[in-house]
Amino acid sequence: MEDEPIMDVAHLGHVEILTPKPDESLRFFVDVLGMTESGRQGDSVFLRGWDDYERYSLKLTASHTSGLGHAAFRARSQQALERRVAALKASGAAVGWHAGELGHGPAFQFHDPDGHLLELYYETEWYQAPPDLRPALKNQAQRFPARGVNVRRIDHFNCLAVDIRANREFFERVLGFRLTEQIVLDSGVEAGMWLTCTNKSYDFAYTREAHGVGGRFHHVTFALDSREEILRAADIFLENGVHIETGPHKHAVQQTFFLSVYEPGGNRVEVANAGARLVLAPDWKPIRWTEAERKKGQAWGLQTIESFHNHGTPPLTEAQRGHKA
């Protein structure tokens, strides 16, 4: 009889991204993406989609550069949090407890093998909409804004990592994430991984960093309700002078219908929709994509744009750019 799955992480809570252009970035997230500001603290503004149940799903922090501040997962219970903290401590990845971030209780911070900062918390603040943002239907966190792209909730994030396999094993063994899809090169080297702790087919993905630089960020993705809304989002990005990198199109991997843009601070932001697709099987057999299959491009034949492999944040220095794995 196999070991039972670890079910201690409930879902992705929020992502902190750094921006060297905080005002323009804020206008992008509020006016173009349609997010709502729900708090400020220090150099950070906290933002939310209209159906995120927690106070926020994005922490936008002014910085000298771009990239990921941290990503945070919510544990399923206080006991579940404590079990994972014990496992993290045993793994050598632990940074330690961090208190005082707006909107949630004590968080245990740790580094993945690539050096990204992550945290796990349980106690959280449920969003309470002020009167002018109260929804008409009580099973919705906040009024639909009808402004810009109207992103609904955070969906997933994507980091770059030098050693995908090491990161995969860390998240599977220490935190109980399940691998749903991966890319494995002909050499056997893993080049991409999609992991979940929910019935979404992934809560985050790591793809391969080609320049040997740890800790870089690829994108954060917000969910919209339909592919039609993502097409309309493309119109809205165009009208607002936002750089559209690629899409709308359908990824072969995970079949996500995606649209990728760069926010003013340089970070890639994606809006996406996966229809009614869920991974319900508790023993899902990971899909392994080969090099030959990935060369076919996206689902309907769009070739993967070069910058999708190369653009990460923070940007590489000249010296780093010279290094090629």
Of 252-311, binders to its own copies (CB under 8 A) are: 252-255, 257, 273-278, 280-285, 287, 289, 293, 299-302
Say how many residues touch its own copies, by CB under 8 A. 84
Q: Is 192 in the site for its own copies (CB under 8 A)?
A: no
Q: Which helix (H) or strand (E) holds 232?
A: helix 227-239
Task: Return the residues of window 202-231 that contact its own copies according to CB under 8 A.
Answer: 223-229, 231
Confirm if 101 and 55 have CB atoms less than 8 A apart: no
Asked, as a colleague might, if the bond just before 314 is cis with ω within 30 of 0, I would say: yes
Distance CA 19, CA 66 (A): 5
User: Where does this chain touch its own copies (CB under 8 A) — which range of 101-109, 185-193, 195-203, 310-318?
Assistant: 195-203
Member of 10, 58, 68, 107 binding its own copies (CB under 8 A): 10
Asked, as a colleague might, if the bond just before 248 is cis with ω within 30 of 0, I would say: yes
Closest C-alpha among 46, 62, 31, 61 to residue 241 = 31
CB of 108 to its own copies, least distance (A): 17
What six digits make up the tokens of 10?
A: 């409930």
CB of 263 to its own copies, least distance (A): 16
Q: Is 67 in the site for its own copies (CB under 8 A)?
A: no
Closest C-alpha among 55, 77, 89 to residue 10 = 77
Distance CA 323, CA 316 (A): 10
Member of 146, 186, 187, 188 binding its own copies (CB under 8 A): 146
CB of 38 to its own copies, least distance (A): 17
Nearer to its own copies, 175 or 213 (CB): 175
Q: Is 106 in the site for its own copies (CB under 8 A)?
A: no
Task: Return the residues of window 32-61 that contact its own copies according to CB under 8 A.
Answer: 32, 51, 53
Give the contacts of 203 (CB within 8 A, at least 6 positions apart): 11, 12, 73, 156, 177, 195, 196, 197
Q: Is 72 in the site for its own copies (CB under 8 A)?
A: no
